[in-house]
Homo-oligomer: A and B are copies of this chain.
Amino acid sequence: SSNIRLAVIPGDGIGTEVVAEGLKVLNAAGVKSETTEYDLGARRYHASGETLPDEVLDELRGYDAILLGAVGDPSVPPGVLERELLLRLRFELDHYVNLRPVKLFPGVATPLGQAGPEDIDMIVVREGTEGPYAGAGGVMRRGTPHEIATQESLNTAYGVERVVRYAFEKALARPRRKLTLVHKTNVLTYAGDLWARTVDRLSLEFPEVETDYCHVDAASMFFVSQPQRFDVIVTDNLFGDILTDIGAAVAGGIGLAASGNVNPARTAPSMFEPVHGSAPDIAGQGKADPTATILSVAMLLDHLGHAGTAARVEQAVADDLVERQSAWTARSTREIGDDIAARVAG
């Protein structure tokens, strides 16, 4: 098969370090790829004021997929890189599914004393292009005692239906076939009603899938107290952001949490990235765990039709994680990448 044409955005902080290991494993897996690096993030913003120039965005549209490390730095005002780069990529490339597995691998320590791998194995299908992330809102009389600031969640039948449909399909393909909608229908009545009606309506098309509903507050609690409740979860952009960080915490930490910003209609490339940020405090020290990026590479491979290779990468990670628990010393970012690459190369 032909080369994967891959755009790589290493970004800031540990982003560069973990992406190098992700690419190392991709190469070791024997899938041919051609990568082009894009310098985007805090460094470029400080150097030129640019976040995501239109020409760069247009070029990115031409790739098969994008691999992103992490962007952000405390020196940049909050929201600038998020809204103008990260979220703009997700919105412009129509990444309406933000796919986030929450899975406890054998051998991985969880803060939950009683939970094992059989208890934590779910996929969160987070909406990626609308809801409270739309950027709608405003401010009036800023800085005065009469200031008001608003923030609006925009939800469309079009946007909700397509992500709910995707979630039903995911649920159908898994052994438990259970889909839970998470929202806050008792308070956010307009948006909640749209989400709940959409799940009800589509459930008629997927009679094999059992559906359930859980308020976001209760779901957040159950992630800790009864993670077994969940198989596939579908939820809005903001609730999904929160839930998947709780998920990362219970499944062994943010160093293991992978994600895909997926455009299932394939009208633009999908983008894969670890859930963690740029962690400027540990950047450049070889301390970052590249595992989340490597698992994101596995998701990328799966998305591009290399399911077998993806499974091999995931298995290599799983084996590495089992060995990790009995290791005497912590390995560096590069050593972890080397070890997983060696396993993948086989």
Contact = CB atoms under 8 A, between A and B. Distances in A.
Interface of A: 78-79, 82-83, 87, 110-115, 132-133, 135, 137-139, 141, 143-158, 161, 184-194, 196-197, 216-218, 220-225, 238, 241-242, 244-246, 248-250, 253-254
Copy total for this chain: 2
B250 A224 contact: yes
Given A147-B156, A157-B148, A245-B220, A79 B192 contact: yes
A157 B151 contact: no
Nearest to A112: B111
A68 to B, nearest CB: 16
Given A79-B192, A111-B114, A242 B216 contact: yes
B184 A150 contact: no
- Residue among A190, A216, A244, A253 having the largest count of chain B Cβ atoms under 10 Å: A190
B78 A192 contact: yes
Q: State the 5 A-B residue pairs at the shortest beta-carbon distance, nearest first.
A: A113-B113, A147-B157, A217-B245, A224-B249, A79-B189
Given A111-B113, A112-B113, A185-B79, A191 B151 contact: yes
A220 B191 contact: no
B246 A151 contact: no
